[in-house]
Structure 1
């Protein structure tokens, strides 16, 4: 389907505004933002142009740049709602002199628009961007509390000459920034900020944390020293005159209500998920879903297909990445859902050759190292969606973090039984967990190993003696202290140790192909409700995510509702990395950056005896250093 694009450039020079249009057809990319504030003179409009266009892949349907004095705003547009040129950005409010560049979707914009209209606001477009601006005019910074969606934006408020920037509650949309002596800049991707710093330099702590255990995105820093992220649930105010930057939290993840009845919990949970999906189906372009065949993606696909069928004459699209390794494959489960919900089911089956030829490009897309090749499966799903005209994809990301879907939560659950009813109840619960498919060895590991930061740190030091800094990351030390409390573990995983990493992978993979992904399980109402549920309901009779299983058992096949295993879009790591090891070895041994963090002689002697995860991490850091020309401090 051809795209009609528009390019706009605004430049204010002594009251003169230049407007330039440029139309382009069939350009595939996605939504991206950029901003620049200079502290010692006017902004260079051409520089704002260039750095905005470094994320042209995020925005196929239009581009705009506005420069006024020492402030420049840029935008690349992916048109999802209001496909006319009326939705172009940077956009000015019709009432007051404020301008916005914005990436994301406010899903409840229709409800907010109706409320604002009763307060006297008049709207001239059908876009959610205009609603966002009106909400800011009406409620100021408190407008953030009213939004249900994902967002990363900056508003230049000319009334007090400040930039008001904000990121959504859980950080679905990225916001990178640099704050230097002469300028402040932000962007949707790191590549927009690299030309502004003297040279790319590695953050030693983050590289070391990654090499030890694959942890990423657990701080507000990036792998590039000096480039940071606005934390999820935070807002920023930049004084354009002085360059002062103030950041504060506006959202804190806390339980909002108490539900103790199992049946009622399942019913309420399904209602919240269904409504989250209803909001996320709002689009003026084709919508589909990712479908792995697991409980989360099957629930989203089933509920979405039911609603989509009442709105569209075409079948709902679902896309599955199929592993070429039969033991690591959920295709049969996905096929059940595709048949039951009459989906337009698309499959992609990447081979080792696909992986080998894409690995370096995938690293460039991600911009920072990542812990394994499985994100290539997601990358292939996004590519398949775009080639079939599916511009918006729902996804089941967040279901495990909100409903205790990981085995590590069983330690807190078992200890809760022990504390409430003693050894007999503990042993009974242990047996229930085994019958639900959890191996006893894994239960014991989380009970006695994961809760001890000292034991875990000693394990890494003994296993990876060639690392110069084999310290356990501070985030994992905190996590170890939380393993006795499931709710505290959840908050840490959602805000720090797990979800931020997954959201970064998803954003970069989808945006590479001009795909907007929407995550019903991260509707803030759903997250807050799930966090409130007692551990005994979320983990019931040994079954993880019990409320979702109970809520969906009348719609999903029993083979999926009561599955004991979990695979997802897993790559055939053993197959791919074993075959790729010679190429990985060559890249590792030739890396001058990597030599800063490891004893290269020891790595050279034992590389092919290392576990595949470590081989990949070494390779990924070497490749990252090469692709981005990263130096040591």
Structure 2
């Protein structure tokens, strides 16, 4: 796991100092090594967290003829097989790094090499002969990659915060993206919260020439998956060798690894498979509350850890210990998104980072195998919502803000943008093939919106804030293609989702664990936003620069009074507070403010 950055200038030579400053902003992603390369108007930089080939994996990487130079973030899991194939074709790798196979693969197969890669990755490849730069992101968007095209240059980086110091000024906020944050938890698609900074999309490669022209190449689409008619037994026969190979590839590392054990199905399945394929005990981590009033899943995680013989470390934190991580959490994410689970995930990453560089987690299981309750609405609910909220089959129909507050709180430009918050979901729904079922369409919408722009931002940034690499086997593209293709009847029934995975796992995990109602990890946001803290917040928030620009201060004051009296405006208050902290860090501070400590008073960052 690493960080990458760089630039292409229309005229002139890239200054090495500019690359060094961008790379320094990504030091948390790769604290062990740094490197850069400049060829006139092209420059690339890298920060390294060594996972494979600890001694020989320095980047940038070059081929023997020095035509290509590459910097990469992530892992190419099938590097062993690709290396053997490339050596048979005459390639002579200089290291045992997994990233080097991407370089030699490109040299032999060009852009077709992308279809051969298994893994999570974002890389930049410079071609001296063609004087062009390629930016490539993995199929599901597990690894991030952003870029900004200016009249005189193009910049790219693994995180937004690395782009900001290289821009002539802090870019304006995009009202549509801000509206999506407020209503959907995160903005989705190419556009980010900053106008002019865009995402390389999942499964996409960008070609940038010396004149800053950009060609977009989509090398993988989930919509190419064809529905299949299979029995459960036929599906299991195909699934078992497939997932075993996926796990073998994901377990390749030259450092120890662990598992985030949530108490649910997906992480338990991962631990069971690791135990089957790995002879040594694996470290596992789970998080819960020291205050017994809060709901967590420590007991379920402990049970699975004992059953499978892991070296388990339960982490118990007080409510305030978690809440005071909010400023660091907002800094780590930088791409504005609201997911309460970021806070406990950040605490888990801090604990695991003291012991390990790599952890497995269960992201993607619900999307690939239809685990969410929203995938199986009652017929009448689906019919009603599809009529009232057309364009997405009634899926992702309503925003998260109370409609009356949405009308009152915001300035006109943002209020108008809020009306279009469903656009990413409608757009994704329209991309799905006619032969797909309603369930497959719902899976696809989440796979292309909420997953890359919320859940995977959480998984990548919270872990990388403490230099930990997260591996997510359920988001191997072969697993996603398999899960999408299954008949609905194998995935859901009226009272349960993820049916195929649970039935298959009954042979090695307790049935009562697999089929129990998921209690979840309750984050007590409502308890934080009351009492003395809320009173202090009411004094500061209406006068905050972000609130004054985008909101009506008198309405914000009324919102805070409502929260104090009724405690029913938690989501709205939290959203405004988080936006204000983010604004202080990345707009007022231009990304150059000091990094918040592990635990700090959120009020200090308003």
TM bucket (normalised to shorter chain) is 0.7 to 0.9
* Structure 2 residue aligned with 1:466: 408
Which whole-Å CA distance do the structure 2 matches of 1:570 and 1:392 have between them?
26
Shift of 1:460: 4.5
SS in 1 for 2:558: helix
**For 1:556-578, what per-residue CA distance to the aligned partner results, in whole angstroms no more than 9, with x for missing partners?**
112211112251x4423333344
* Structure 2 residue aligned with 1:394: 360
CA contact (8 A) 2:51 2:255 kept: yes
Do structure 1's residue 75 and structure 2's residue 46 form an aligned pair? yes
Which whole-Å CA distance do the structure 2 matches of 1:59 and 1:457 have between them?
37
Q: Assess, with a 3 A threshold, how the Cα gap between structure 1 residues 385 and 459 changes in structure 2: closer, same or farther.
A: closer
Shift of 1:625: 1.2
Which whole-Å CA distance do the structure 2 matches of 1:508 and 1:597 have between them?
27
**For 1:522-560, what per-residue CA distance to the aligned partner results, in whole angstroms no more than 9, with x for missing partners?**
111110010001111101363211110111001111221
SS in 1 for 2:28: helix
**For 1:402-444, what per-residue CA distance to the aligned partner results, in whole angstroms no more than 9, with x for missing partners?**
1111111113xx55xxxxxxxxxxxxxxxxxxxxxxxxxxxx6
* Structure 2 residue aligned with 1:509: 462
* Structure 1 residue aligned with 2:603: none
Which whole-Å CA distance do the structure 1 matches of 2:96 and 2:522 have between them?
40
Which whole-Å CA distance do the structure 1 matches of 2:208 and 2:214 have between them?
5
CA contact (8 A) 1:584 1:615 kept: no
Which whole-Å CA distance do the structure 2 matches of 1:356 and 1:337 have between them?
28
* Structure 2 residue aligned with 1:33: 4
**For 1:460-493, what per-residue CA distance to the aligned partner results, in whole angstroms no more than 9, with x for missing partners?**
5335331331424112455788998111111111
**Structure 1 gaps, min length 5:** 1-29, 416-443
CA contact (8 A) 2:70 2:124 kept: yes
Normalised by the length of structure 1, the TM-score is 0.84
Do structure 1's residue 329 and structure 2's residue 296 form an aligned pair? yes
Shift of 1:328: 2.1
Do structure 1's residue 178 and structure 2's residue 178 form an aligned pair? no
CA contact (8 A) 1:35 1:74 kept: yes
CA contact (8 A) 1:587 1:619 kept: no
**Structure 2 gaps, min length 5:** 391-396, 563-567, 591-606
Which whole-Å CA distance do the structure 2 matches of 1:378 and 1:577 have between them?
20
Q: 1:206 aligns with which of 166, 177, 181?
A: 177
Shift of 1:59: 0.7
* Structure 1 residue aligned with 2:369: 403
More divergent stretch after superposition (183-192 vs 585-594): 585-594
Correspondence list, 1:169-568, <5 A = 169-197=139-167, 198-211=169-182, 213-240=183-210, 242-253=211-222, 254-256=224-226, 258-309=228-279, 312=280, 315-323=281-289, 324=291, 326=293, 328-388=295-355, 390-411=356-377, 415=379, 445=381, 448-449=384-385, 452-453=388-389, 456=398, 460-468=402-410, 469=415, 470-473=418-421, 474-477=423-426, 485-540=438-493, 542-567=495-520
More divergent stretch after superposition (554-563 vs 574-583): 574-583
Do structure 1's residue 619 and structure 2's residue 590 form an aligned pair? no
**For 1:495-516, what per-residue CA distance to the aligned partner results, in whole angstroms no more than 9, with x for missing partners?**
1234431101111111111111
Q: Assess, with a 3 A threshold, how the Cα gap between structure 1 residues 73 and 631 changes in structure 2: closer, same or farther.
A: closer
Correspondence list, 1:591-602, <5 A = 591-602=544-555
CA contact (8 A) 2:322 2:347 kept: no
Which whole-Å CA distance do the structure 2 matches of 1:126 and 1:459 have between them?
50
Q: Assess, with a 3 A threshold, how the Cα gap between structure 1 residues 364 and 457 changes in structure 2: closer, same or farther.
A: closer
Q: 2:527 aligns with which of 570, 575, 581?
A: 575
CA contact (8 A) 1:321 1:381 kept: yes
Which whole-Å CA distance do the structure 1 matches of 2:553 and 2:236 have between them?
54
More divergent stretch after superposition (552-561 vs 269-278): 269-278
* Structure 2 residue aligned with 1:427: none
CA contact (8 A) 2:51 2:253 kept: yes
The Cα RMSD (Å) is 2.4
* Structure 2 residue aligned with 1:127: 97
Shift of 1:94: 1.5
Normalised by the length of structure 2, the TM-score is 0.88
Shift of 1:191: 1.2
SS in 1 for 2:125: strand
Shift of 1:630: 4.6
CA contact (8 A) 1:402 1:490 kept: yes
Which whole-Å CA distance do the structure 1 matches of 2:528 and 2:515 have between them?
31
Which whole-Å CA distance do the structure 2 matches of 1:351 and 1:233 have between them?
40
Which whole-Å CA distance do the structure 2 matches of 1:631 and 1:191 have between them?
11
Q: Assess, with a 3 A threshold, how the Cα gap between structure 1 residues 479 and 148 changes in structure 2: closer, same or farther.
A: closer
Q: Assess, with a 3 A threshold, how the Cα gap between structure 1 residues 227 and 129 changes in structure 2: closer, same or farther.
A: same
**For 1:8-67, what per-residue CA distance to the aligned partner results, in whole angstroms no more than 9, with x for missing partners?**
xxxxxxxxxxxxxxxxxxxxxx61001111112111111111111111111122110111
Which whole-Å CA distance do the structure 2 matches of 1:507 and 1:457 have between them?
25
Do structure 1's residue 151 and structure 2's residue 110 form an aligned pair? no
Which whole-Å CA distance do the structure 1 matches of 2:239 and 2:400 have between them?
41
* Structure 1 residue aligned with 2:71: 101
SS in 1 for 2:576: helix
* Structure 1 residue aligned with 2:565: none
CA contact (8 A) 1:372 1:616 kept: no
**For 1:254-289, what per-residue CA distance to the aligned partner results, in whole angstroms no more than 9, with x for missing partners?**
225624202222443344333222211100011111
Number of residue pairs the alignment of both structures matches: 564
Which whole-Å CA distance do the structure 2 matches of 1:457 and 1:47 have between them?
41
Which whole-Å CA distance do the structure 2 matches of 1:450 and 1:359 have between them?
37
